[in-house]
Structure formats: C-alpha cells, structure tokens
C-alpha cells in the first residue's frame, strides 16, 4: 500500500473514533434549541390565556362598579319621586329610573356573561401553566443530561484529538484537505478497500489500469465514480 494511503487509513480510524464520540454531543445544540422553542411556545400560550382572563376580570370589575353606581342613582331618583311637585316631573323621573334600570340590567347581563367566561377560562390557564412547568422540567433535565454527557466525554475526546494530530503529521496539506472533504461527504469513509476489482464505497468496477497502480503501490488511486481514495484489501 502507498505509505500516504496507509497514513490516511490510520487517520480515518481515529476520525471514526472521534465521530462516534461526538455524534450525539454534536446534536445537543439543535436538540436544546428545539426544546427551548417548545417551552417558549407553551409560555406564549399560557401568557395569552392569562391575559385574556385578566382582561375579563378587569372588565367584570368595571361593570360591577358601574352597576353599583346605577343602583345609587336609582335610589336617588326614587327619593326624588317623594318630593316632585307635579305629575310631569313625576313621569319624567319615572322615565329616568326606567332608563337607568334598563342600562343597569344590560350591564348585569354582560357582567354575568363575563363571570361565566372567567370560570371556563380558569381551567385553561391552569392547564397551560402545567404545560409550561412540564416543559421547563423537561428542558432542565435535558440540560443536566447534556452537561453530564459533555463532561464525561471531554477527556476521551481530548485524548483522541491529540492522537489525531500526531497521526495527521507528515501528510501533505492538499491530500489532507481532500481526505477531510471526502470524509464529510462520503459517509465517514474517505479511504476504502477494493475487493475483486470493486470499490467497496460505491460498488463500481475499478479499471485494470487502476488495479495495476494499486498493486504497484507507488501512487494514490481514486475511485473514478465516488472519488474515494482506494487500497487493495487483503
């Protein structure tokens, strides 16, 4: 085997080790972001429901106040009935009482309607708060686990990265870049064996000329179909 290909193959073993150590860790930020979005959405729903209920509560309190002042007014108008001096004034006062009472009753109805609304909104608010609490718990648990995973892997990853530097030493820069590009785009297999004239990366047939070059071991041979760097398997 060409000595540089052997070096790349050794490097690939180390890189696959790094990949298996970091695969789940690399997915943690995206997973964390997904869980944070879920929590934010739950918080948004809870805030929206609470705001709706608070508004209904404020409106019902304002109506209640208006109803009480209408009651006061009706009371005063009733008292006036006793002191009016003529029938016209009496009728006018009765008319006023009737008007105020009509408004008051309409407000009373609105107020009851709001109170009913609040009673149905309350369990929705409680349920939304429970979802927020649950999502918070899930996120906190996830963050704890993620931190523990990172901490437990830190030493192993540092060790294997150090080893990678040593293995990569002596490789020409352009060949190393080519290898790294292939490693990413070819499913973590940049260097692959040829068996019975077939590339084991893409199962394309290798030319006689390439097979001869591989046997000679003096040049770096690439698969014509997938561009992986080849070696003859024994």
Residues engaged in binding Zn ion (CB under 5 A): 199, 201-202, 204, 223, 225-226
Q: Taking the complex as a whole, how short is the minimal distance between the CB of residue 194 and Zn ion, in angstroms?
A: 9
Comparing CB distances to Zn ion, the nearer of 188 and 204 is 204
CB nearer to Zn ion: give 9 or 202.
202
> Exposed/middle/buried for 86, CB within 10 Å: 0-12, 13-18, 19+?
exposed
Question: Minimal distance in Å, beta carbon 218 to Zn ion?
Answer: 21
Q: Shortest distance, CB of residue 213 to Zn ion, whole angstroms?
A: 15
**Alpha carbons 232 and 234: distance in angstroms, whole number:** 6
H or E element: which one contains 199? strand 198-199
Q: Which of 215, 234, 214 is nearest to 224 (CA)?
A: 214
Give 58: exposed, middle or buried? Use CB within 10 Å, 0-12, 13-18, 19+: exposed
C-beta neighbour count of 8 within 10 angstroms: 25
Smallest distance from Zn ion to CB 48, Å: 56
d(CA 41, CA 139): 13
Closer of 108 and 188 to Zn ion (Cβ): 188
The nearest distance, CB 221 to Zn ion, in angstroms, is 11
d(CA 218, CA 202) in angstroms, rounded, equals 23
Nearer residue to Zn ion within complex by CB, 63 or 226: 226
Which of 170/181 has CB closer to Zn ion?
181
DSSP annotation of 224 reads T
């Amino acid at each position: 085997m060409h000595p540089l290909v052997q070096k790349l193959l050794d490097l690939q073993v180390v890189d696959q080790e790094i990949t298996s150590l970091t695969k789940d860790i690399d997915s943690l930020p995206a997973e964390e972001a997904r869980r944070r979005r879920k929590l934010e959405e739950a918080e948004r729903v809870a805030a929206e429901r609470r705001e709706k209920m608070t508004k209904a509560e404020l409106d019902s309190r304002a109506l209640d106040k208006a109803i009480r002042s209408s009651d006061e007014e009706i009371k005063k108008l009733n008292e006036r009935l006793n002191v009016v001096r003529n029938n016209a004034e009496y009728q006018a006062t009765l008319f006023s009482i009737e008007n105020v009472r009509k408004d008051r009753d309409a407000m009373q109805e609105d107020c009851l309607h709001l109170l009913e609304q609040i009673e149905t909104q309350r369990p929705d608010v409680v349920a939304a708060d429970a979802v927020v609490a649950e999502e918070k718990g899930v996120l906190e648990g996830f963050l704890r686990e993620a931190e523990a995973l990172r901490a437990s892997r830190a030493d192993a990853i540092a060790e294997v990265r150090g080893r990678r530097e040593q293995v990569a030493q002596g490789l020409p820069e352009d060949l190393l870049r080519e290898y790294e590009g292939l490693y990413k785009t070819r499913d973590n297999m940049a260097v692959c064996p040829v068996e019975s004239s077939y590339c084991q990366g893409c199962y394309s047939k290798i030319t006689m000329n390439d097979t001869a070059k591989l046997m000679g071991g003096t040049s770096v041979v690439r698969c014509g179909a997938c561009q992986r760097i080849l070696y003859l398997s024994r």
